[in-house]
Structure 1
Amino acid sequence: MDGDLDLRKIRYFLAVADEGNFTRAAASLHIAQPVLSRQIQTLERELGGPLFIRRPRSLELTPAGRELLKDGRKLLADAADLAANVRGLATGRSVFTVGHHRAISVRAAVRAFQAEHPTLTVRTVALDADTQAAALLVGDADVAVVLPPLATEGLITQILKMEPTLIRVSSEHDLAQHAEVTLTDLAPYENVRFETAGENGRPVRNVEERIELLASSTGVYMTPALCADRYRHPDVASIPVSDAPPTPILLAWASSRDSQMTRDFVAIATASTS
């Protein structure tokens, strides 16, 4: 290898790392799984070693994979910003970036916004739950559609819509066959935490790992309905909580970039969900 990194392969790697599964990653990238597997294998050869430990039902990052995950996302963002800035100077088109939680689709709002601003280049970026606020504050996104919890210092937020709250439990759980539960029903059960996994207490890195942990847990996990719809598992049941408050889906943007363009997107996104 001559030292150059293929940004497309980095994007493919990040999709697999985020999803924890080649099949789901290929679907999110709109490519065939064998193509994705070959691209990752090529990247591993170019970098001189494996990036994933491949297990029957999950993937684990190697030390090299963890290093690439740490810096790869910033590399792609920097490359995208550079291309957008140069393109804007060359064509006179400005760039507007819409972030979104990985379980939330913003396609309809982006299409409507683009139609209202045809000279604007609009791009989207998927955000991890623990980096939503930081992405807005550092300018990786001009506005984002996100889920709580969200550190709101330096941000302006507006409720886009309210989403029903569910619990997710193992299919072997005592509550799994209930059509509906109440908060009182949940009192005896521990809430599942996903900070670490396994005997070595390593961090849980993606939704795929969380769902696998939940499938073998005796606890309950509360989540908005859209997340349960997006991330299904044959060994995990989703049950409405009749008296739980709904979860707000939030529009958020940095107060330092409270522009008319951002307000236009907020208005269009709000109208598209009404």
Structure 2
Amino acid sequence: MTGNARVVVHADAAALSEATAARLLLALVDTLSTQARADVVLTGGTVGIATLAAASRSPLAASIDWTSVHVWWGDERFVPAGDSDRNEGQAQAALLAGLPLPEENIHRMGASSAFPTAEDAAAAYAADIADAGTPAWDVLMLGMGPDGHVASLFPGHAGYEARGGEAIAVHDSPKPPPTRVSLTLDSIVRAKRVWVVAAGAAKAEVVARSLHGDLTLPAAAVRGTSETLWLVDAEAVATV
């Protein structure tokens, strides 16, 4: 991990979600006070979606010009549109549907019902990023699995080793469903702010290993150009 990384510990997963939601909304307010557009990369997972639900309840949401916010994803399950496994559908229900956010500002990764292969979906997402000017993500949120994966970059898996480009197809994922689309590590570390969000005792070992720089874990390799935050609950840092 790089020297600019900071660990912020909250009492439990609920407090973590509420605090991260407030942090996200304030980051968007601050970003839009100095530039015309904000690009935020969302994550799925229990805490990630709980964070979006908390953001939807916050009065801070009303202070943001959502027409200037663009929403992206770090990874997506390559399943049909409307499938309950898709991160974008969960995010839509938790937050996005209730915002005055133009549809063209929501950059969903392609579904298997729209693209013949995950490679095609990844190429289309890379083209979408290029068309947007290859933004340096203003905030990029990542959940972390108990194996130390982030986005759909898994330890010892080819996707973690891939370099160059913006998005890749992931096959034979250790976590179902087996086929996914993910941002590359190179795309992730272009972000200004990278936030790794983790909760629970099951993740304590890999949180400790990541914080001590075990680069066999993708979570240990991510960083932001101006800020790297580990936003965790007390159980997740019990062995640090």
Q: TM-score, normalised by structure 1?
A: 0.26
Larger Rg: 1
Q: TM-score, normalised by structure 2?
A: 0.29
Which protein, 1 or 2, shows the higher relative CO under an 8 Å CA cutoff with sep ≥ 6?
2
